[in-house]
Chain A
Amino acid sequence: MKNMMHKSLLALAIGAGMTSLSAQAEITIGLAGPVTGPVAQYGDMQFIGAEMAIEQINAQGGVNGEMLKGVKYDDACEPKQAVAVANQIVNDGVQFVVGHLCSSATQPASDIYAEEGILMITPASTSPTITEAGYETVFRTIGRDDAQGPVAGRFIAEHIKPERMAIIHDKQQYGEGVATAVRDTVEEAGVNVVVFEGITAGQQNYSSLVSKLKRENVDFVYYGGYHPELGLILRQSKELGFDAQFMGPEGVGNPDISKIAGEASEGLLVTLPQAFETDPKNAELVAAFEAKNQDPSGPFVMPAYTAVQLMAEGMKATESTDPYEVAEYLHQNTFDTPIGEVKYDESGDLEEFNFVVYNWHADGTKSKADTGEAQSDAAQ
């Protein structure tokens, strides 16, 4: 009896396999990023952007007569799981991947994709080493830490001019990378960095660190990492009477930081990609997101949309789904996208990508930081 059930299940499975084979007029795009885990909301930004692009491209008839299909893969922002996900993507025969999100997850996954000839565009990973490996099928639609770090560093050196600065990071590829880039820039400009230290992500008590910063009379703190830890550091700083100015990269620019830190998040400085959703050129797209009740303002939404668009344009122009041909086309051409004009250099990095400094507010909103020149658009 049991045996028979096994057989009929097997038959069913084979049948299902065959129907999916016959409906092959689809190009699958793997959407890899954290569906679960402490930074899952950044994954959501990436997913809604990519899914919107897939939907709009399909509405216009798809690519070369075939429809695009997005399939989510969850790496939980963990390097180990990212490798498992990448292998699964290989086994599923997927040739195009938008992802991953966290640099430490993207790094090992990209090795697998490059080896298997899969085209990968990450809309969020900013660590320079990802594209430095020189893979021809690996791209990104976001800036690099060594672009973001200097933006933050120059802002600090020119507008804040701290007397005693501290740089804290979470010892992960992304956090430490951007923190190091900031340190190099500010030290060159002559800023006095008195503390450069790592913390353990996931820990909750930072009172010892905060007391130390207070004793060192630090007046400015740069944090490289994500919002859960910085939120706690801000909260405990307030509790312990430490009132320096804080700053972080786009990984802390999330309304959740205001939920965690409350009042203490007021005035935090954050470097974020330009607010693409305020570009009048994108008004139609923003309306499409809003019609679906989705928020287009997350830093990775438009880059993810762009990643899918680039793949589709490449496939259309080369009339093929061969990742190498598409990659070559991406390297050689210039594209008009929601994140502006996209042109790739040899390594798969954008030739131009701007980070802008914002002021974060306790209600989870942000406004452009006053740099003396851009006062007119300070309120948004």
Chain B
Amino acid sequence: MEASLYFLQQVINGLTIGSTYALIAIGYTMVYGIIGMINFAHGEIYMISTYVVFIVIAGLSMLGIDSTVFLMAAALLVAVIVASAHAFAVERVAYRPVRGSKRLIALISAIGMSIFLQNYILLAQGSRDKAIASLIPGGWQFGGDGFAVNLSYMQVIIFAVTLLSMTVLALFISRSRLGRACRACSQDRGMANLLGINTDLIISMTFVIGAALAAVAGLLLGMYYGVVNPYIGFLAGLKAFTAAVLGGIGSIPGAVLGGLILGVAEALTGAYLSTEYNDVVSFGLLILILLFRPWGILGKPEVEKI
């Protein structure tokens, strides 16, 4: 009994981390799906949104507003706008000019952008950790003798919001006109262009959607951990990228699945082995997938187009 409660607790912990990996992974996977490049600056967009969330919440609290729902909504709105603006600008400045050239050039441009964004926040905000108090403390506790499982309200919110965002995104991609244009671009950008789809617009939109989801992750994780510094984007981006590759890069359900698997694998490693091996397990998984199923769990093997 105690052992299974403990297992349940660790799975809950893992699903919470996994959901946020998934939210960030979407940004990688969508951009890859459409223009075939890895946007390494995406982790920084998540970091920037977390800063925006902190600034908005701290600012509004200072004005005497204490309605949690309003604070969250305002923070989310501003974070989505700022993150989208950054992603849009990054694409225009760093990626569009090199789009026609070799893959490596775009990749280097992305890494450069990541370093730039990190340092620009470092200069503007300083390197010290910024912290906010938890807005939604508390949670449920169940179980009993031996081990009590804690499920905090924040964990439930993170999981629910992630599922909701994924459903909305899936509907948008499969049902809306713009979503159809997106799919067309990912299948054959040249042809889509010939058929009158504004591919530049679609690509910009992909970056904006990815950034908006990163902003959602920024809000949720910012409130859950309560701490931000200019370096959080790097590790988060790396893990999300791993999740995207694990699930099959280019596939949206794959990113979600990859994120959840990675999160649970990490939590269980910490639970039964040692926290020290967390990264060994996550990157070991990545290597295994790349060796035996390079297109990921839900991805499609790439057919060489002639």
**Residue ranges of A at the interface with B (Cβ–Cβ < 8 Å):** 36-38, 40-41, 171, 197-200, 202-209, 211-212, 214-215, 228, 231-232, 235-236, 239-241, 256, 259-260, 262
Chain A residues, CB < 8 A from B250: none
Chain B residues, CB < 8 A from A37: 127
Chain B residues, CB < 8 A from A235: 134, 225-227
**Most chain B beta-carbon neighbours within 10 Å: one of A37, A40, A204:** A204
Assess the A208–B267 pair: CB atoms within 8 A: yes
Q: Would you call B235 an interface residue if the criterion is a C-beta within 8 Å of the partner chain's C-beta atoms? A: yes
Chain A residues, CB < 8 A from B10: 208, 211
Q: Across the interface, name the chain B residue whose C-beta is closest to A228.
A: B129
Assess the A202–B267 pair: CB atoms within 8 A: no
Q: Across the interface, name the chain A residue whose C-beta is closest to B9.
A: A211
Assess the B275–A197 pair: CB atoms within 8 A: yes
**Most chain A beta-carbon neighbours within 10 Å: one of B16, B154, B226:** B226
Identify which of residues 125-150 in chain B touch chain A, using a CB-to-CB cut-off of 8 Å: 126-129, 131, 133-134, 137, 139, 141, 147-148, 150
**Residue ranges of B at the interface with A (Cβ–Cβ < 8 Å):** 2, 6, 9-10, 13-14, 16-17, 122, 126-129, 131, 133-134, 137, 139, 141, 147-148, 150, 152, 154, 221, 225-227, 229, 231-232, 234-236, 266-271, 274-276, 278-279
Least distance between A105 CB and chain B CB atoms (Å): 15
Least distance between A180 CB and chain B CB atoms (Å): 14
Assess the B276–A40 pair: CB atoms within 8 A: no
Assess the A256–B129 pair: CB atoms within 8 A: yes
Assess the B129–A38 pair: CB atoms within 8 A: yes
Assess the B221–A204 pair: CB atoms within 8 A: yes
- The answer, among A208, A232, A256, for a CB contact under 8 Å with B271, is A208
Least distance between A330 CB and chain B CB atoms (Å): 33
Q: Give Cα distance in the complex from A120 to B179, angstroms.
A: 62
Chain B residues, CB < 8 A from A209: 270, 275
**Most chain B beta-carbon neighbours within 10 Å: one of A202, A203, A211:** A211
Q: Give Cα distance in the complex from A240 to B13, angstroms.
A: 10
Q: List 6 A-B contacts (CB under 8 A).
A: A38-B229, A208-B14, A211-B13, A212-B275, A228-B227, A262-B133
Q: Across the interface, name the chain A residue whose C-beta is closest to B2.
A: A215
Chain B residues, CB < 8 A from A41: 128
Q: Give Cα distance in the complex from A369 to B6, angstroms.
A: 35
Q: Give Cα distance in the complex from A209 to B279, angstroms.
A: 14
Least distance between A134 CB and chain B CB atoms (Å): 32
- The answer, among B17, B221, B229, for a CB contact under 8 Å with A228, is B229
Q: Give Cα distance in the complex from A198 to B122, angstroms.
A: 28
Other contacts beyond A202-B234, A209-B270, A235-B227: 9, CB < 8 A: A36-B127, A200-B276, A204-B236, A208-B14, A208-B268, A214-B147, A236-B225, A262-B131, A262-B134
